[in-house]
Chain A
């Protein structure tokens, strides 16, 4: 079995059709950091990729018993990744130490993340890296309004790259950035056009040193574009919970598992830093729809404020009731149990 040190990181690059995924991929692959990277792409665009390890992935999806679309094992992806492992072991392809998956423009990232975290073989060979989503500044309103997958791609992102800023007006760029900050305040937002491309920043998995900040959409111009974007994203909202008392992780796990069972399709993202009973170090947790990353201990708190902070991105869920529900679960008292060894 592979140890945690030998797991190969996998980055998922997503974004709507024509939003600049392949252009970004080309720029990434020019970096020496990605010399030993295998690339899996769903669709070959007109822009050729001059890279040794490019393989096509088809779209077979195996639906699990639960019937939830985000809890599906992507059979095509499993086959492609297992194939890469086999061919690497047989020295048929150059050794690689990273995989980048470029999704189709219409892909829901949920099944891809679920496959990487839960497929029995893959979970012992790969670890999920950052999810990078490109957002076209010119056509964001159209993309995000017409396709629910567009919002899921934004919500799943660790990094949001705003593309085509050279073609967009200042008003359009400000509106897009405001809406992205509103929908996914836990992601890093940057302009793709920036040179040089911060490859290390995009690839390195760095749990936040402090809690993800909640950035309410500012009044970045009460513009038509902003109104259009907000109108189309009005049922999706993000909010931040700050909890004064350290959490009982077990109670939190029971609550979150039930919340995701009932509302997983509408809980697009849960990301936060938790103060947990019995642990001096903070715990980082991260979930995309039904797909929950293993909780991760961070080394230390980076600020004096040691309260739990959790950002939720939800669709049509009452924030106040969600908070009451969490607090009710976490205040449950059960008799301490006597356990014989």
Chain B
């Protein structure tokens, strides 16, 4: 645990595993992490939420009114957003798919 901020240094979740471009040097882990954040934000955009990296070890989920929550992995983001925004995130929702296809 980080003595300053109290962050538990948890094991890497499968969803945060680096496969491919990091090993070949095409991306750094930091770069990969920000790429993940950017992709997640494309999904979260219609739901008024935003994800950001937090010290390279966790993620910060923010709502439009300043509500925030720290989560350890991208897999942990979705239930927190649903709780903060009272929405239901569904990757098979026709509206979401169409929105992503338009992007």
A6 on the B face (CB < 8 A): no
A216 on the B face (CB < 8 A): no
A328, B75: Cβ atoms under 8 Å? Answer: no
Given contacts A318-B92, A329-B91, A339-B30, contact A276 B20 (CB under 8 A): yes
Given contacts A321-B92, A329-B100, contact A278 B24 (CB under 8 A): yes
Q: From residue A195, how far is it (CB to closest CB) to chain B in Å?
A: 39
B20, A283: Cβ atoms under 8 Å? Answer: yes
How many residues in A have their beta carbons less than 8 Å from beta carbons of B? Answer: 43
A292 on the B face (CB < 8 A): yes
Contact with B along A295-325 (1 / 0, CB 8 A): 1010000000000000000000110011011
B19, A295: Cβ atoms under 8 Å? Answer: yes
Q: From residue B90, how far is it (CB to closest CB) to chain A in Å?
A: 5
A249 on the B face (CB < 8 A): yes
A278 contact from B15, B20, B43, B103, Cβ within 8 A = B20
A255 neighbours in B (Cβ, 8 Å): 91
Contact with B along A86-125 (1 / 0, CB 8 A): 0000000000000000000000000000000000100100
Given contacts A262-B90, A339-B31, contact A295 B75 (CB under 8 A): no
How many residues in B have their beta carbons less than 8 Å from beta carbons of A? Answer: 43
A328 neighbours in B (Cβ, 8 Å): 97, 100-101
B22 neighbours in A (Cβ, 8 Å): 278
B24, A258: Cβ atoms under 8 Å? Answer: no
Instruction: Report how far A331 CA is from B42 CA in the complex, Å.
Output: 12
B16, A253: Cβ atoms under 8 Å? Answer: yes
B78 neighbours in A (Cβ, 8 Å): 257-258, 261-262
Residues in A lying within 8 Å of B, measured CB to CB = 66, 120, 123, 249-251, 253-263, 276-279, 283, 292-295, 297, 317-318, 321-322, 324-325, 328-329, 331-335, 337, 339, 341
Nearest 4 pairs between A and B by C-beta? A278-B21, A278-B20, A279-B20, A334-B38
Residues in B lying within 8 Å of A, measured CB to CB = 11, 14-24, 26-28, 30-32, 34-36, 38-40, 42-43, 73-75, 77-79, 88-92, 94, 96-97, 100-101, 103
**What are 9 A-to-B residue pairs whose CB atoms are below 8 Å?**
A256-B15, A263-B92, A322-B92, A324-B101, A331-B100, A333-B103, A339-B31, A341-B28, A341-B30
Q: Given A318-B92, A332-B100, 9 other A-B contacts at CB below 8 A?
A: A120-B11, A250-B36, A250-B39, A257-B78, A261-B78, A262-B89, A278-B21, A294-B17, A325-B97
